[in-house]
Amino acid sequence: MTYTYLHNPGCSTSRKGLELLESKGIKPDVRKYMNASEQLSVAELKDIAKKMGGVSPRAFLREKNAAEAGLAEDAKDEVAYAAMAENPKIIQRPILIKGNKAVLGRPIEKLLELI
């Protein structure tokens, strides 16, 4: 089965997570979601939340960056999804997806749960 790795090359944790996967022989499809051509849609973000077990988007939201971007702490999920699609900097990373499962790699060892 194919792995998809949501990667921000500018993030050291994301780079270390990719190195960890590769050290285990996993060569995921890498999606650099910060690039305009690879940004995540609201539908994709909702699918990721579902694959994480039906979590709120806040489970993979960078709270500090969200506040800087003007997202209110008490914003509804729909507003959070829209903000994440509009401003990918506020998405926590890395995220590994395999089939109908996804995991946030914080700490990066959590990525191994999908292997």
The count of domains in the chain is: 1
Max CA distance (Å), the chain? 41
At residue 1, the pLDDT reads 74
Collect all residues with Cβ–Cβ distance below 8 Å to 108 and sequence separation of at least 6: 13, 16, 17, 20, 94
The CATH number that applies at residue 103 is 3.40.30.10
| Active-site choice (2, 6, 8, 11) | 11
At residue 71, the pLDDT reads 93
* Torsion sign (Cα): 17, 90, 80, 30: negative
**Splitting the chain (115 residues) into consecutive groups of 10 residues, what average pLDDT does each group show?**
94 97 97 97 98 96 90 94 96 97 97 95
Would residue 41 show up in a list of annotated catalytic residues for this protein?
no
pTM for this one? 0.95
At residue 42, the pLDDT reads 98
Structural domain for 14, as ranges: 3-114
d(CA 99, CA 85): 22
At residue 58, the pLDDT reads 94
d(CA 70, CA 34): 19
Task: Name the nearest CA neighbour of 45 among 71, 82, 73.
Answer: 82
At residue 107, the pLDDT reads 96
